[in-house]
């Protein structure tokens, strides 16, 4: 009985361990390891917003990436928000909430 109780206590700990997703790695890198790069993106986003465009709009990113891929410049076809873009977006929401 005691052994089964210990097993039941250990199982929830293993299940509840959250594995870090790829976008979280990039978010944390921007927030804690690369604050100057994050600030660069915030400033770039603010400048784009002044022109009534979004530097971080997924549809726009896909369009530009597709144009670059079609031109032979980008090595990968657009695939929506990748982990890098998702991590950057989440870091920006945290540090630059007015940028869209």
Q: What global pTM score does this model have?
A: 0.59
Domain-located, residue 7: no
Domain-located, residue 13: no
Q: How confident is the model at residue 58 (pLDDT cuts 50, 70, 90)?
A: low
Domain-located, residue 8: no
Element (H, E) at 33: none
Q: Please give the tally of structural domains in the chain.
A: 1
pLDDT tens profile 2-24:
555 445 444 454 444 455 689 99
Domain-located, residue 2: no
**83-95 and 35-50 helices, crossing angle to 10°:** 80
């Amino acid at each position: 009985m005691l052994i089964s109780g210990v097993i039941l206590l250990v199982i929830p700990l293993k299940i509840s361990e959250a594995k870090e997703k790829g976008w979280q790695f990039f978010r944390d890198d921007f927030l804690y390891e690369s604050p100057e790069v994050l600030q660069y993106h915030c400033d770039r986003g603010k400048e784009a917003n002044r022109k009534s465009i979004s530097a971080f709009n997924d549809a726009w990113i896909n369009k530009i990436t597709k144009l670059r891929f079609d031109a032979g410049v980008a090595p990968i076809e657009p695939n929506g928000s990748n982990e890098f873009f998702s991590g950057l977006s989440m870091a920006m929401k945290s540090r630059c909430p007015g940028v869209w």
